[in-house]
Every structure is written in C-alpha cells, then in structure tokens.
C-alpha cells in the first residue's frame, strides 16, 4: 500500500495550507508569504515521487497510486483519484509552477497578501484535483473550485477594467460548465440502467450510448472544454482576463488553467464519446487552425505586450487542439508535451512582462525601445523564452510543435490509398487534414514574425524614453524565480524523449481504444481499407511502419 | 393519548415557548433589554429540534397517529419531520440574528419572539396537516404572525407599508385558498385529504368542481411561496421588513408552503387525470409557474442594487427551481434509485436554501444598522476589509444560492436535477436546461455581491455601520459552516432527505395509508422498513 494515498496528500496539502493561513493574523504578511511558499514547495516535493515511481509500461491509471475511498455513498460518488501518462506532466507542471508564482509575486502583490495566498493555494488544490479525479462528480467539484479563486485573483488584484474582465470570465466558464453538469447527470442516470448508479469514470466508460446521445453529450462536454482552451471563436474572454489579471493570475491562467480544457477533451470527451468526436473532428480541426492563424495575426497587431502574449496563447493552444484531433500517438504525445511547453514558456513570458511592468508601469510596446542596453540580463532571458515560444530547435517549443505537425501530416497520409482491386480511394478527411496541416505550419512562421518584431521594438533600437535609460536589471530573486523555467526550456528541448516515454503506454491505449470509432465517423473511406492504414501504426505514431506497409 | 402528546412534542415545545415569551413581555419593564428572550426562544427551538430528531428515529417510515385524538388532522411522517427540522433550524438561526439587531432598530419588544414562535408553530402544522381545515388554520397562524412581524418597526413607514401590502394581498390569497377548499369540499364532500384523494381517484368526485378547487389551491399557494406571477408582494415586503424577519420568512414560509403543497397535490390530486391527464392538469400548471418564476426572478434580480431586494427576486427564482421538484414522479418504494424519490430533492434543496438565506440576511442585518432599511451596495462595499468573517459567510451564501460545488446549494441542485431527469424518461430534460441557463444568468447578480464585498473599497462618506453582535455572528457562522459541510459531506443529509421522500410517497398514497386503524393497534404502524432506504 506504499504511496497509495500520496495523491490525496498532494491534492489536499495546498488546501490545508490555505486553512492554516486563515488563522494567521492579517498584518503578518511575511508569515503569509512564508507559509504559502512552504506549502507550495512541499506539494511540489511530494509530487516528485509520482514521477520517480511512475511505471512507464502501464497503460492507463497507475495501480500504485490509485485512491478509492467512500464519499457520498447515497449518490454513488466516491473519492477516486488516479494518475496516468496523460495527466502526469500536467500535474507536475502545476506543482512546479505554483511555488514559482507565489515567490515571483513577492513584489507585485502588496495588498491583502493573505487572501492572495489563500486564493492561490485553493486554486492549486482545484487544479490538481481536476487532473487526478476519476469520478465525474469529484472532477466537476474541482473544476468549479478553480473558478472562484481565479475570479478573486483577477477581481481584487487586477488592472483598471478588472470588473468587466471577471464578469466575462465567469459567465463564459459557467455557461460551459453547467451544461457539462447536465451531461454528467445524464451519464449518471444512464449507469443506473444496468446497476447501481455511479459517477465513477470506469462505470461511465462501460455504458453504451446511441450516436445521437453521444453527439449531444459531446457538445455539452466539449463546449465547456473548448471555452476553457479557448478554441476560436470562444476565445474572447481570454485577452481581457489576461490583460486585467495580475502577473500571478496570468501565469496560472496560461500555465495550467487553459490546459484543463485540452486535458478534459483527452480524458473525458474523447474516450466517452468517440463517435461524436469523429463527427465533430472536421469542425474542431478547422476552428483550431483558424485559431492558430487568427491568434498569430491578431497578436502581431497588438500594441500591448501582455495582450500580444495572450493572443499568442490562442495560437499555441490551436496547435495542441490540432494534435488532439489528429489522434495518433505522435500527435497526441506532441499535444501533451506542447501543453507543458506552453505552460513553461508562456508562464515565463508573463513573469518577464510582469517584471518590466513593475519598473515602468506600462506594457505598451511604444513606451519601450532599446532597453536591451539598460537591462542586459533581462533581455537575454526574454530572448531565450521568445525562442522557445517560436519553437527554435533546441528549445522545448520545437519538440512539441514538430511532433504535432508531423503527427498531423502523418494522419493525412496516404492521401488516396489503394483498394484491393487496385483503384485509388480518395478520402476527404485526408485532404482536409493535409490542407489544414500546411496552413498550421505557416502559423509557426507567423509566430516568429510577431514575437521577433515585438522583441526588436522593445529591446533594440535607440532609447527614446528617458525613463528607460535607468531601468534596474533583474534582482537575484527574480533571476532565481525564472532560472528553473529557463532550465526546463532547454532540458525538454534537448531531451524530449525523456518526457514522451512515460506518456507512450497511456497515449497508445487511448488511441487504440478510440481511434477506430473516430475514424469510422470522420473518415469512412480509409477506415474501410483497414489493413493498409493499420490502426496500430497510428497508435504508436511510427512513420517507419507505415512506409513498410506501403 | 399520552403517546400522542409525545408524538407532537415539537409542536408543544414551540407553543409553550411562545406563551412564555408573551407572558414575560407583559411583566418585563418597558425599555429593558429583551435579547435574553431570544436565547430562551432559541433554546425552545433547539429542544423542539431535538424532539424531531428523537421522533425521526423512533418513527418508522409510515408512522401514524393511532387514536382519534386529533381526529386524523395530522400526519406524522419523515417528510413532515424533516421539514419541521428545516423550519426549526431556520427559526433558531434567524432568532439569534435579532438579539442586537432589534435594539439597534429601536424595536426591542418581547412580542417579537412570541410571534416568531407562533409562526414557526403554524409552519410546522402546515407540513403535517392531513385535512384542509387544519391546513388553513395553520396557514393563518403563520401568516398573521408574519404580517405583524413585517411591520415590527412601528415608527418606520417603510416597514408598515410592507406589512400592509403583505396583509392585504395575503388576505386575498387566503380567500382564494378558502374558495379552493370549499370547491374541493363541494366536489368530494370531505375535507380530509386522504378521502378527497380516494374520491378523486375513484371517480366519485364532481371532476370540474374538483379541478376548479385544485386550481384555486395552487394559486393560493403560489402566492405564499412567491411563485411568479403571484410574486408582486415579494420585493416590497422583503425590502421593507426588518432583516431578521425577512430572513425568517424567506426560509420558513417557503419550506412550509412547499411541504404543504407537495402533500396536498400528491394526496388529493395524485390521480393521473388530475396530474397530467386533463387540459388543466397540475403538472402543466406547475411547469408554467416554474418557468415563469425562474425567468422573471432571475431577470429582475439582475437590475437590483439592494441586497434585500435582490434576495427577494432570487427567492422567486428559487421557487421556480423548487417547483421542478414537484414534477418528479414518485418512485416505487423499493428504493432502487437513490435520486428518484420525490421529496428527497425538495427537502435537501430547502435545507440548503434555508442555510444560505439565513446567512445572507444575517449579514444584511449586520450591515443595515444605520436605522433605515439600508442594504444597498454602499452598506457592505469593502466588507472584506472590515470584517473578513462576515464577508466570507456572505460569499458562501451567494455561492450556495448560485450552486457552485462545495456548497450545499450545489448538492441541492444536483439532487433536484438528477431526480427530475431520471424520472419520466428524460421528459423534462428541456426544463432542466432552462433551469441551468437561468443559473448562468444568476451568476451575474450573486457574484456581484461578492465583488462589492471584496473588490470595492469602503465608501468614504458612508462607512459601514457594522452591528456588533456575537449571537448574530454565531448564527451566520453556523449557517455558513453547515452550508460547506452539507456541500462536502452530504451523505447523511441526502440519505435523510431520500428517506423523507419515500415516506411522502407512502403517506400521500390514499389507498395504502391513513386507513382508520382500530385503537387496538400499536401506536406506530410501520409498513416500510427504514433500513431499505437508509442503506441505499
């Protein structure tokens, strides 16, 4: 039973810290910061055994870390937690980012420190809980638990127009999540038809749904997740929320909260409703590619650095969605890796923007120019993170984007496979995927354009504003906060295999389980020629195998 | 006979407490502090709560009075006991909020506590009533006490106006109720709910007269539970009445009204042709009322700046959600589906609603100490800085009313929607979606309260006039903590409310329950094993 309640501990520890903080007097701000950081670091340390004890050969939830305890027996809901290759890295990203955020907001959050720390810790519990819950009611509970702290983070410590931003954020999120709740209740009642009704993920996977039911339920779930991602055209809350949020809010929003949407799709929407996923695939595919290009173009037009980074998130998350839709081993692994990459590089970008904002109290690109001369260390770090965001080889961004794009091209091939009688069968899905992959690739170029032009205008050229001449470079604390993020940019970039290996078994299982139904719904032409486009090759994502088959 | 007195011990305790308060009021010197009476009354409520708890465990699901002591005018079942518990809990906490609030409003009179006790008594009898006259008398006991309480600040024209409005419209509703009772009596020749049910089901009743009576009864109850379009009095009365009274009437009247309405409709008009067969079946009426109440309540609440007025419209919206619970088809009593017992969702939702409203009105009382009925945004802007505990309780209350997880309100919505979806094969899926869309709308105004309390600064000209009152803080704190407890660990409460639901299914079936058993039978008759339900 070693480590069996480790997940429970990891999930609840931040909440314990938050409760403890409620009893510390309001004035002792140093104590608040210290307790908050301690609990966040402790949670991170506790989550490390999850990685070291992770058995990469197990497909599905790790048996060693399974937690199952009674909760609401009357309703068939229980405290069920689990971790697998899909959630592992996002969980670690969450526990890794939270202490960085807490320590990093030392100088930016100076009022109501206690409330801030409590909100961050409760938020961490919500995020971790949503990532490990394998009971749908429990998942929903944690899912909504993230809402209120985020609402307070933007609303109390946010910018001038924070009120409008919070309302927009909350209404968008609640519309999605309440419809998802109706879907969850529907599934719960369905499980009651064959036995005791239950919210358990395993029990819900067992039920058979008609195609119509799948489509409606998928719509309810996917709406909640796509708003969170955010998929174009549900993204309009994001730039507002990001610009108004304090640095800490932006980092946690970009770093983890957005991943909840893509994670939810992978964990719930896809395995539960594969047929509907197939039916909706063309729509999601087109919308995510629109998101990639549109996000990049709008980012290019921004005069506010933070807004630019916010729109770049829309573009980057479009890549993640593309990987999920392509649904082969390589693309899905790339999508998960890219979720982590985006959390690290965009988190770092927001931290850097926050650092310069604290000095100049402006984020307008036109207010800067030439600060490379006055802040050399800052400039170096910023450019490294920029390179990671663009996806320069050697940085983490390259590994993720390359896997996603090669996976999506792989999904498009063979364009017109040969049938048994020698005729060529044309597949509309393959054509669409090919065109969309090509357009998505241009998004990488666009990413370089908007990021580099911003870097040029902010850091190089002559200093036009007097205030920029005497900017202080990064302090030791700020450098230390950023150092781990920079380190991971290179570690993931240089050794991506170390990060994809633990995912492989779980991702392969997911693809093997769901791909046939998805493919039948979206790509019947190729599906009917089964042996040629073998399912297993997609699952493992090995292009070599496909070549051999041809 | 003595056994029967034991069975109504909660009612007796509350009556005695009311009388004691009244007597003390006569002998206590004028102008002295009467707050200690609140503790006495609360103690009475607590004792009555204990008596309910004891009866709950002693009584099996189908308990009945054996002799003719009350001439079959009361039904003692888990449904009634559970709602009595909810009413007593609300009364207990609301009484505690009044201790220092009334002196601050210069209305510290002993009658206040007597009236609270009497109206609680009326409410408790309402949910137990087994014939229409008992129901009417109980309703009047409750209403008249509340009319007086609403105008308890005698020197405030605002408060008096609200009492007057409530009284006139309430009397009108009572007249309609009597009209409904007379028509039903005319159609069936009896006032006993069970015999009405038998006559209606057996086809002995004059169906047009009975239908007319049914519609009148629903209209009258629609007024009491503040269902749109009979809600016009609600905002003015909620705003004008003293906050401690509003808190009590918001929760008590609603619990009593819904309990009585559920029992009445199921017992008297449970027959299929009245339920969903004819053109004016009560299911159709309830659906219409539910949709109008939800939409009207939520839309009008959006524009409210005053906390009490906003809560009034939110009460109308919650009436809409609660009405949905009446549409659940009673499950067979084999206890197969936990979420499929009519009344289970109703009871749990009422419990959650009671706790949230007590906390919210408690905070409204605490910040409304400036004399006028002032619960506008300025009255509590920046409350988080001044008093974090009250602000936190207010937040919990708002989140519970909105139905965010970890609060009892979420579990209430979950059981309610789950019940409705699982009964009748998803026939009311559209209604659940309407309710969900309404919940989204309500997020705007509930969260605005949180925003004002946390994100605005205290107004410089009019700083918060905070009432220093330990009992109030205890009441608000207990309500907030219970909201969280029932939101995180709802297992026991759900089991209990499910059991209450089963007992209603049983006692409202005129064919199986309430037959005039001979005096030789034991005091309590049991037909359903409680374990069936408890261990589901």
- Provide the strand spans (E) within A53-212: 67-72, 77-81
Distance CA A344, CA A253 (A): 12
Give the one of A71, A144, A192 whose C-beta lies nearest to B404's C-beta. A144
Token pair listed for B256: 């009593």
Residues (pLDDT < 50) of chain A are 1-2, 532, 543-550
| Closest CA relative to residue B415, chosen from B308, B490, B332, B333 | B490
**Residue pointed to by tokens 């009388």:** B19
Residues in A closer than 8 angstroms to B440, CB to CB, are: 171, 174-175, 178
Query: Do A243 and A165 form a contact (C-beta atoms < 8 A)?
Result: yes
Contacts of A26 in chain B (CB under 8 A): 388
Per the structure, the count of domains in chain A is 1
Interchain pair B536, A171: CB under 8 A: no
SS3 A220: helix
Instruction: Verify whether the Cβ–Cβ distance A147 to B404 is below 8 Å.
Output: yes
Residue A294 in tokens = 């549109």
The Cα–Cα gap between A441 and A406 comes to: 10
Compute the distance between CA of residue B118 and CA of residue B19 in angstroms, rounded to an integer.
9
Kindly tell me the burial class for residue B484, based on how many C-beta atoms sit within 10 Å of its own C-beta (0-12, 13-18, 19 or more): middle
Q: What's the CA gap between A335 and A327, in Å, rounded?
A: 10
Q: Which two tokens stand for residue A37?
A: 């950081």
Neighbours of B257 (CB within 10 A): 25
Residue among B371, B282, B500, B313 nearest B103 (CA): B371
Which among B115, B164, B165 has a CA at the least distance from the CA of B141? B115
CB contact under 8 A, A148 and B404: yes
Asked if A458 and A365 count as a contact pair (C-beta separation under 8 A), the reply is: yes
Helices (H), B328-464: 344-367, 377-380, 383-386, 388-402, 408-422, 429-455
Interface with B, mutate which of A75, A76, A114, A227 (most B CBs under 10 A): A75
Is residue A519 one of the residues assigned to a domain?
A: yes
pLDDT in tens, chain B (536 residues): 667 778 888 899 999 999 998 888 888 887 778 788 888 899 999 999 998 888 888 765 444 544 456 667 888 888 888 999 999 999 999 999 988 888 888 878 888 899 999 999 999 999 988 889 999 999 999 999 999 999 888 888 888 888 999 999 999 999 999 999 999 999 888 888 888 888 888 877 788 888 889 999 999 999 989 898 888 899 989 988 888 899 998 899 999 999 999 888 888 887 777 777 766 788 888 999 999 999 999 999 988 888 888 999 999 999 999 998 888 766 544 443 333 345 678 889 999 999 999 999 999 888 876 655 567 777 788 888 888 889 999 999 999 999 888 899 998 888 888 888 777 666 788 888 888 888 888 988 898 888 888 888 777 777 777 888 888 999 999 999 999 999 888 888 888 888 888 778 777 776 665 444 333 333 333 333 333 333 33
For A108-163, write each residue's pLDDT tens digit.
Answer: 777 888 888 888 999 999 999 999 998 888 899 899 888 888 888 888 888 788 88
Q: Cα dihedral sign for B260, B264, B270, B275?
A: negative
Is the CB of residue B173 less than 8 Å from the CB of residue B179? no
B169 phi and psi, to 5 degrees?
A: -70, -35
Tokens of A356: 């310069």
Structure confidence at residue A543 (pLDDT): 40
Residue A171 to chain B, least CA–CA distance (Å)? 7
Determine the pLDDT at residue A530: 61
From the CB of residue A366, how many other CB atoms can be counted at a distance below 10 Å?
A: 12
A200 forms bridges with which residues in the sheet?
A135
For the record, the structure tokens of A223 come out as 């709406």
Q: Within a domain: residue A474?
A: yes
* Interchain proximity A75–B494, CB inside 8 Å: yes
Structure tokens at B290: 């539910």
Q: Which of A15, A25, A74, A180 to mutate to test the interface with B (most CBs of B within 10 A)?
A: A74
Q: Which DSSP string corresponds to B36-52?
A: HHHHHHHHHHHHHHHHH
Buried residues in B281-318 as b, exposed as e (16+ CB within 10 A): bbbebbbebbbbbbbbbbebbeebebbbbbbbbbbbbb
B347/B344 Cα distance (integer angstroms): 5
Could you give phi then psi for residue A69, rounded to 5 degrees?
Answer: -140, 160
**Which is nearest to B428 in space by CA: B317, B326, B525, B349?**
B326
Q: How far is CA B444 from CA A425, B285, B449, in A?
A: 54, 29, 9
Nearest Cα residue to B299 out of B277, B284, B316: B316
- Identify the pLDDT of residue A232: 83
Within a domain: A388: yes
* C-alpha to C-alpha distance for A186 and B384, rounded to whole angstroms: 39
User: Which residues in chain A have their CB less than 8 angstroms from residue B429's CB?
Assistant: 182, 186
Handedness of CA A108, A114, A120, A123 (dihedral sign): negative
Coil, strand or helix at A241: helix
Q: Please report, for residues B234, B272, B481, the alpha-carbon distance to residue B281 in angstroms, rounded to integers and kept in the order given.
A: 27, 9, 41
Kind plus residue range of the DSSP H or E element containing B475? helix B470-488
CB atoms < 10 A from the CB of A434, how many? Answer: 17
CA angle A182, A185, A191 (to 5 degrees): 145
Full domain range(s) for residue A362: 273-550
Distance CA B315, CA A450 (A): 52
User: Are A185 and B433 a contacting pair at CB < 8 A?
Assistant: no
Q: Which residues of B touch A155 (CB under 8 A)?
A: 451, 454-455
- A151 Cα distance to chain centroid: 19
How far apart CA B523 and CA A540 sit, in angstroms, is 72
Measured distance CA(B34)–CA(B25) in Å, rounded = 8
List beta partners, residue A478: none
| Min distance B338 CA to chain A CA atoms (Å) | 6
* Alpha-carbon gap, residue A65 to A107, rounded angstroms: 38
Taking an 8 Å Cβ-Cβ cutoff, which residues of chain A contact chain B? 26, 71-76, 115, 137, 140-145, 147-148, 151-152, 155-156, 162-163, 166-167, 170-171, 174-175, 178-179, 181-182, 185-186, 188-189, 192, 197
Separation in Å, CA A39 to CA A28, A115, A131, A223, A327: 17, 15, 19, 34, 38
A182–B417 C-beta distance less than 8 A: yes
Which residues of chain B are at the A interface, by a Cβ-Cβ cutoff of 8 Å? 337-339, 384, 388, 399, 404-406, 410, 414-415, 417-418, 421-422, 426, 429, 432-433, 436, 439-440, 443-444, 447, 450-451, 454-455, 489-491, 494-495, 498, 536
């Amino acid at each position: 039973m070693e480590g069996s309640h480790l997940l429970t501990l990891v999930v609840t520890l931040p909440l314990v810290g938050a409760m403890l903080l409620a009893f510390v007097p309001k004035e002792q701000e140093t104590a608040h910061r210290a307790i908050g950081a301690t609990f966040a670091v402790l949670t991170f340390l506790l989550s490390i055994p999850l990685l070291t004890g992770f058995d990469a050969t197990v497909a599905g939830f790790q048996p060693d870390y399974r937690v199952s305890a009674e909760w609401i027996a009357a309703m068939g809901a229980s405290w069920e937690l689990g971790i697998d290759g899909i959630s592992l890295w996002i969980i670690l990203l969450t526990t890794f980012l939270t202490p960085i955020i807490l320590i990093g907001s030392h100088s930016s959050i100076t009022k109501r420190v206690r409330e801030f720390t409590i909100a961050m810790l409760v938020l961490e519990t919500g995020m971790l809980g949503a990532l490990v819950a394998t009971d749908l009611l429990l998942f929903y509970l944690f899912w909504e638990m993230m809402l209120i702290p985020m609402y307070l983070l933007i609303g109390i410590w946010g910018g001038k127009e924070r009120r409008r931003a919070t309302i927009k954020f909350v209404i968008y999120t609640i519309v999605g999540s309440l419809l998802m709740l109706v879907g969850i209740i529907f599934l719960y009642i369905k499980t009651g038809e064959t036995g005791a009704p239950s919210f358990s993920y395993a029990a819900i996977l067992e039920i058979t749904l008609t195609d119509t039911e799948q489509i409606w339920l998928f719509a309810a779930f996917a709406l909640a997740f796509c708003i969170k991602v955010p998929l174009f055209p549900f993204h309009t809350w994001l730039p507002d929320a990001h610009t108004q949020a304090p640095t800490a809010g932006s980092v946690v929003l970009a770093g983890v909260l957005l991943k909840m949407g893509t994670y939810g799709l992978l964990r719930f929407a896809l395995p539960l409703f594969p047929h509907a996923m197939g039916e909706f695939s063309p729509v999601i595919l087109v919308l995510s590619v629109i998101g990639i290009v549109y996000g990049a173009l709008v980012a290019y037009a921004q005069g506010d650095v933070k807004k630019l980074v916010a729109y770049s998130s829309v573009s980057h998350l479009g890549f993640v969605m593309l990987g999920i839709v392509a649904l082969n081993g390589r693309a899905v692994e790339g999508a998960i890796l890219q979720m982590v990459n985006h959390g690290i590089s965009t988190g770092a970008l927001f931290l850097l923007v926050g650092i310069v904002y604290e000095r100049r109290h402006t984020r307008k690109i036109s207010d800067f120019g030439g600060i490379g001369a006055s802040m050399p260390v800052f400039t170096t770090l910023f450019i490294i993170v920029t390179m990671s965001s663009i996806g320069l080889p050697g940085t983490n961004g390259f590994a993720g984007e390359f896997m996603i794009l090669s996976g999506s091209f792989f999904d498009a091939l063979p364009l017109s496979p040969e049938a048994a009688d020698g005729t060529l069968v044309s597949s509309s899905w393959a054509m669409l995927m090919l065109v969309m992959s090509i357009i998505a690739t241009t998004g990488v170029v666009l990413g370089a354009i908007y990021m580099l032009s911003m870097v040029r205008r902010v850091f190089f050229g002559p200093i036009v504003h007097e205030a920029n001449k005497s900017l202080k470079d990064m302090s030791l604390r700020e450098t230390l906060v950023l150092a781990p993020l920079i380190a991971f940019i290179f570690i993931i970039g240089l050794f991506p295999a170390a990060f994809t290996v633990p995912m492989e078994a779980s991702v392969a299982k997911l693809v093997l389980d769901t791909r046939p139904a998805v493919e039948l719904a979206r790509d019947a032409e190729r599906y009917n020629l089964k042996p040629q486009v073998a399912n297993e090759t997609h699952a493992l994502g090995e292009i070599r195998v496909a070549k051999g088959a041809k | 006979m003595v056994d029967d007195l034991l069975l109504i011990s909660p009612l007796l305790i509350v009556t005695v407490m009311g009388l004691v308060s009244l007597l003390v009021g006569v002998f206590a010197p004028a102008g002295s502090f009467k707050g200690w009476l609140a503790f006495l009354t609360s103690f009475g409520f607590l004792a009555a709560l204990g008596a309910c708890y004891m009866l709950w465990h002693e009584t099996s699901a189908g308990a009945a009075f054996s002799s003719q002591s009350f001439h079959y005018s009361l039904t003692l079942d888990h449904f009634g006991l559970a709602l009595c518990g909810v009413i007593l809990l609300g009364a207990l906490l609301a009484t505690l909020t009044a201790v220092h609030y009334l002196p601050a409003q210069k209305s510290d009179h002993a009658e206040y506590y007597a009236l609270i006790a009497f109206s609680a008594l009326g409410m408790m009898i309402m949910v137990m009533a087994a014939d229409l006259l008992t129901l009417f008398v109980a309703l009047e006991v409750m209403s008249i006490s509340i009319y007086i309480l609403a105008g308890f600040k005698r020197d405030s024209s605002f408060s008096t106006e609200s009492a007057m409005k409530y009284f006139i419209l309430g009397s009108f509703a009572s007249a309609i109720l009597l009209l409904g009772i007379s028509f039903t009596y005319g159609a069936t020749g009896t006032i006993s709910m069970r015999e009405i049910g038998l006559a209606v089901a057996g086809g002995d009743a004059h169906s047009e007269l009975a239908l007319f009576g049914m519609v009148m009864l629903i209209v009258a109850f629609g007024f009491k539970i503040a269902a749109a379009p009979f809600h016009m009095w609600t905002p003015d009365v909620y705003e004008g009445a003293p906050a401690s009274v509003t808190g009590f009437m918001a929760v008590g009247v609603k619990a009593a009204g819904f309990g009585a309405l559920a029992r009445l409709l199921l017992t008297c008009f449970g027959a299929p042709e009245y339920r969903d067969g004819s053109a004016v079946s009560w299911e159709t009426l309830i659906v219409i009322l539910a949709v109008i109440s939800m939409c009207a309540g939520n839309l009008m609440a959006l524009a409210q700046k005053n906390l009490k007025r906003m809560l009034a419209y939110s009460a109308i919206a919650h009436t809409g959600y609660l009405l949905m619970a009446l549409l659940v088809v009673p499950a067979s009593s084999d206890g197969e589906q936990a979420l499929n017992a009519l009344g289970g969702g109703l009871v749990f939702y009422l419990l959650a609603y009671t706790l949230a409203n007590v906390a919210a009105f408690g905070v409204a009382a605490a910040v409304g100490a400036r004399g006028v009925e002032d619960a506008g945004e300025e009255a509590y802007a920046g409350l988080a800085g001044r008093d974090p505990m009250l602000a936190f309780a207010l937040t919990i209350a708002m989140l519970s009313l909105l139905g965010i997880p970890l609060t009892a309100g979420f579990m209430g919505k979950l059981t309610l929607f789950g019940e409705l979806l699982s009964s009748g094969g998803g026939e009311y899926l559209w209604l659940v979606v309407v309710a969900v869309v309404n919940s989204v709308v309500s997020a705007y105004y509930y969260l605005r309260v949180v925003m004002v309390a946390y994100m605005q600064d205290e107004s410089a000209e009019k700083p918060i006039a905070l009432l220093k009152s330990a009992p109030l803080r205890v009441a608000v704190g207990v309500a907030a903590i219970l909201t969280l407890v029932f939101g995180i660990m709802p297992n026991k409460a759900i089991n209990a409310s499910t059991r209450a639901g089963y007992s209603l299914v049983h006692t409202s079936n005129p064919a199986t329950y309430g037959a005039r058993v001979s005096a030789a039978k034991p005091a309590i008759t049991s037909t359903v094993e409680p374990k069936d339900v408890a261990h589901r």
